[in-house]
Amino acid sequence: MKAAQHKRAAKQALKGKWGVAIGVFFLYLIIGGISGMIPIDYYWANMIVLIFLLSPFFVGFYWFYLDLKRLPNPKVETLFDSFSKDYVRVVLTNLLVFIFVFLWGLLLIVPGIIKTYSYSMTFYILRDRKDLSAIEAITESRKMMDGHKWKLFCLMFSFIWWYIIPLIMMIVGLVMMAVAGAGSLADATVMEPTMEELSTLFLGMGIAFIGSIVSFLISIYVTPYYMTSLAVFYDDFVKPKRDTEAPYQNEKNLIDDEPINT
């Protein structure tokens, strides 16, 4: 199954659901933004907020788009499910994934990136496999992604092209601002920047600002599309067929005879 097929299936799943898909994206941004505005002066306090408040919300974001792929009427409340269902397991899993990726990244950047792909299905597994512990869900994701990491990379990379133009605009704007600033500093005899330098500075700021706005507008469409494509990749491609076909289903009876090897 190629990236184009995953994306085609995602578009099909999004038909008639774009409103709620985009609404959840905005809700995610708003809550994440409010959390980021909380004045916290200490590093460890920031880490506590990130781990115990934002990470379950982040998992709920994945769960919503998995429901959107599966169900005719996905519910916005799914975004908050991880706070009321399996909160401890979700937080612990997030923490372990972060630690594992961080430790692998200490060796070299590439192993850290590879492990990010290995653990990429963990949040979906938490949704479907209520019987698994945090470490077992991570292990299951690693097994699922054996031989499929390149395919997931290709799927993710296929969305980057949407951002090429706004990225170029932001880079050009930042370069113009840097050039204007460097020119002003180089001329030590002039206390104030010249009109040409000011024009370059403000033009650069304008181009960078427009680029960021264009990037955000693109994200309104691309983010739900991207998240649904990831859900399709999991649900239709790497997920073992024995797994649940609907959320909240208790699978214990399906796997009692299939011990998990970690």
Which residues make Cβ contacts (< 8 Å) with residue 83, sequence separation at least 6? Answer: 56, 57, 60
**Cα 222 from chain centroid?**
12
DSSP string, 169-231: HHHHHHHHHHHHHHHHHH-TT-SS--HHHHHHHHHHHHHHHHHHHHHHHHHHHHHHHHHHHHH
Token duo for residue 117: 């792909």
Which pLDDT score, from 0 to 100, does residue 112 have?
87
What is the mean predicted confidence (pLDDT) over 245-257?
Answer: 39
User: Which DSSP symbol is given to 52?
Assistant: I
Of 47 and 249, more confident: 47
Q: What residue type is 48 in one-letter code?
A: I
User: Hey, where are the domains in the chain?
Assistant: 3-164+210-254
What is the mean predicted confidence (pLDDT) over 148-175?
Answer: 94
- Whether the CB-CB separation of 122 and 93 falls below 8 Å is answered with yes
Which pLDDT score, from 0 to 100, does residue 110 have?
85
Alpha-carbon distances, residue 261 vs 3, 123, 139 (angstroms):
30, 19, 9
User: How wide is the angle at C-alpha 168 spanned by C-alphas 163 and 170, nearest 5°?
Assistant: 95
Task: List pLDDT tens digits, range 81-126.
Answer: 988 878 999 999 999 999 999 888 888 888 889 999 999 999 999 9
Which pLDDT score, from 0 to 100, does residue 257 have?
40
Integer Cα distance of 137 and 23 in angstroms: 29
Integer Cα distance of 245 and 234 in angstroms: 12
With tokens 């919300």, the residue in question is 57
The model carries a pTM of: 0.82
Q: What is the mean pLDDT of the chain?
A: 85
Integer Cα distance of 224 and 236 in angstroms: 18
Task: List pLDDT tens digits, range 5-45.
Answer: 999 999 999 999 999 999 999 999 998 877 666 666 665 66
Task: List pLDDT tens digits, range 34-51.
Answer: 766 666 666 566 677 777
Which residues make Cβ contacts (< 8 Å) with residue 126, sequence separation at least 6? Answer: 59, 86, 89, 90, 93, 132, 137
What is the mean predicted confidence (pLDDT) over 189-212?
Answer: 83
Alpha-carbon distances, residue 236 vs 68, 113, 146, 158, 210 (angstroms):
14, 24, 16, 18, 38
- Whether the CB-CB separation of 251 and 56 falls below 8 Å is answered with no
User: How wide is the angle at C-alpha 33 spanned by C-alphas 30 and 39, nearest 5°?
Assistant: 140
